[in-house]
Amino acid sequence: MDIIDENFSQDFHCLVYDNAPTHLKRTPTAPSAKKMTKNTPPVGKNWLVEVNMYDENGKQIYNSDGSYKKQHVQMSSSGFTEDGTPQSFYFEPGHEREGVFKGMAIILEERGFKGCVGRNGRLAECGDFSQGCVTAGQPDCCCRRMLYNEPDFVNVWPRLEEVANARGFAVLFLPKFHCELNFIEQCWGYAKRVYRTFPLTKKEDEMEKNIITALDSVPLETMRRCDVLDSRFRSL
């Protein structure tokens, strides 16, 4: 994006990515009911999100053993209560348990869904939740399923899209299993074909040299042709 801004700032740009999990990953604090507890944690405890720590320059901070240094923060919320008031997943300032996670049951009750709080309320999660709560067969079978279906939980942008949009770039994610829509796949195919013409070797330095040579062998004109061909598929 820095290169585009520096050299082509006068144009509109749409960045195209495939559906790789790393491309679709959300920010760690984005709304997610995956690990939420149904009830408010006991006194002295809280439910928070574990995230990596970064310094003032945006660089990852490491522990002495080389592992990522972590911290626990509140999960962000963009939802609303039943009366339209912006909702926080944590008790507001002035509450006796200020800053403590409310729990899925209270969050849903505040949004107008009744029958969630208490022992006789909805379950935190159906036994076959990972299969889509097939047994219950309804969208309000358990607290976790209900939150999963809430707009602010569904319509969360991937981190990549958030960063790109903040800088004025549009983002397009290609559907799965459609490599014909991504010209880089055609370029990979060209390079692989060239690589297969090299003699077999078990030496790592020779393999690295052959890979670099194969990648460098893809002509710019071929890249452009592949992109033109793929753009025809994308326009259908």
Q: Which residues is 68 bridged to in the sheet?
A: 62
Is residue 190 assigned to a domain? yes
**How many Cα atoms within 13 Å fall on the side-chain side of residue 204?**
0
Is residue 9 assigned to a domain? no
Q: Residue-wise over 14-33: b if at least 16 C-beta within 10 A, else e?
A: eebbbeeeeeeeeeeebbeb
Question: Sorting pLDDT into bands at 50, 70 and 90, what band is 30?
Answer: very high
Residue closest to 106 by CA, chosen among 95, 91, 120, 117: 117
Q: Are 128 and 38 found together in one domain?
A: yes
Q: Give the C-alpha separation, 11 to 17, whole Å.
A: 19
Is residue 225 assigned to a domain? yes
Mean pLDDT over residues 184-193, rounded?
89
pLDDT reading at 234 higher than 70: no
Distance of CA 50 to the CA centre of its chain: 15
Q: Given this model, what pLDDT does residue 228 score? A: 84
| Digit-coded pLDDT (tens) for 200-218 | 999 999 999 999 999 999 9
Q: Are 68 and 131 found together in one domain?
A: yes
Mean pLDDT over residues 180-206, rounded?
90
- Answer left, alpha or beta for residue 42, where phi above 0 means left and psi between -120 and 50 means alpha: beta
Q: Given this model, what pLDDT does residue 229 score? A: 80
Is residue 12 assigned to a domain? no
3-state secondary structure of 229: helix
Q: Between these two residues, 89 and 5, which has the higher pLDDT value?
A: 89
Q: Are 182 and 151 found together in one domain?
A: no
Percentage of residues in the chain having pLDDT higher than 90? 54
Q: Are 37 and 143 found together in one domain?
A: yes
Q: Which residues is 54 bridged to in the sheet?
A: 60
Is residue 81 assigned to a domain? yes
Question: Sorting pLDDT into bands at 50, 70 and 90, what band is 86?
Answer: very high
Q: Which residues is 73 bridged to in the sheet?
A: 49
3-state secondary structure of 190: helix
Q: Are 147 and 197 found together in one domain?
A: no
Distance of CA 216 to the CA centre of its chain: 32
For tokens 């990549």, name the residue: 160
Question: Sorting pLDDT into bands at 50, 70 and 90, what band is 178?
Answer: confident
Q: Given this model, what pLDDT does residue 181 score? A: 79
pLDDT reading at 105 higher than 80: yes
Q: Given this model, what pLDDT does residue 236 score? A: 60
Rounded to a whole number of angstroms, the CA Rg of the chain reads 24
Which domain range does residue 192 map to? 176-234
Let me know: does 172 contact 14? Beta carbons within 8 Å.
yes
Mean of all residue pLDDT scores within the chain: 89
Q: Give the C-alpha separation, 76 to 161, whole Å.
A: 17
Q: Given this model, what pLDDT does residue 217 score? A: 93
Q: Given this model, what pLDDT does residue 75 score? A: 95
For tokens 């549009």, name the residue: 170
Mean pLDDT over residues 79-85, rounded?
89
**DSSP H stretches of helix in the chain:** 2-7, 21-24, 104-110, 143-148, 151-154, 159-166, 183-195, 204-216, 220-234
Q: Give the C-alpha separation, 54 to 62, whole Å.
A: 9
Residue closest to 69 by CA, chosen among 58, 60, 77, 56: 60
